[in-house]
Amino acid sequence: MPQTWESVFAALVRDYLNSEGALASGVPDATDLPKATQDEATPADRPSIIVAARITESRGKHFRVILVSVNLFTMIGEDGTDPALAGTWMQSIREALQDWNAFFPWLADLPFERRTGWCLLKQPQLGEPETANDSTKHTRDYNQPLTFRLAVDF
């Protein structure tokens, strides 16, 4: 089955969050905080980071806007993730995603197959983070949006 642009960019961001540049920003490594795409995991895996993506705009054959959501899923309560620790994790994720001095070289160093078929038209834009609590399930979810504007299939 061919990959969609959503799955390509969800995997790129997931892999970047496991890179040396992101780890240097304080993002926990995969043994402390598992990272997956929406196709690989469920929010039941807590704490974890799940990266999801969707196309929010498509003009013509070659222009796409892809919204990538970096979601941190945690539990609250006695056995849950300390909210201060989760806040620190989200801050480090935000810092890693806006560290263009690490992110762009990482993208440029990707194997040819992962760089083919798309081109960034603008620097990715970091959106405002969001938090959602569900007291009935004892969960707290954090979302950090990141928007890519691309030329594709050219």
What would the pLDDT profile of 27-73 be if each residue is shown by its tens digit?
999 888 999 999 887 767 789 999 999 999 999 999 999 999 999 99
Tokens of 34: 């598992």
Q: In angstroms, rounded to a whole number, what is the distance separating the alpha carbons of residues 48 and 103?
A: 21
**Reported confidence tier of residue 153, pLDDT bands at 50, 70, 90:** confident
36 touches 51 (CB < 8 A): yes
Q: Per-residue pLDDT averaged across 81-103, rounded?
A: 93
Question: 113, 25, 5: which is closest to 67 by C-alpha?
Answer: 5
Tell me the one-letter amino acid at 31. T
Containing 6, the helix (H) or strand (E) segment is helix 5-17
Name the residue with higher pLDDT: 19 or 80: 19
The residue count for the chain: 154
Q: In angstroms, rounded to a whole number, what is the distance separating the alpha carbons of residues 9 and 19?
A: 15
Cβ-proximal residues to 28 (8 Å cutoff; 6+ apart), any chain: 89, 92
Look at residue 1 and tell me whether its pLDDT is greater than 60: no
The domains found in the chain, sorted by start residue, are 5-152 (3.30.2000.30)
Look at residue 125 and tell me whether its pLDDT is greater than 50: yes
pLDDT of residue 43: 63
Q: Per-residue pLDDT averaged across 62-86, rounded?
A: 90
3-state SS, residue 2: coil
pLDDT of residue 111: 95
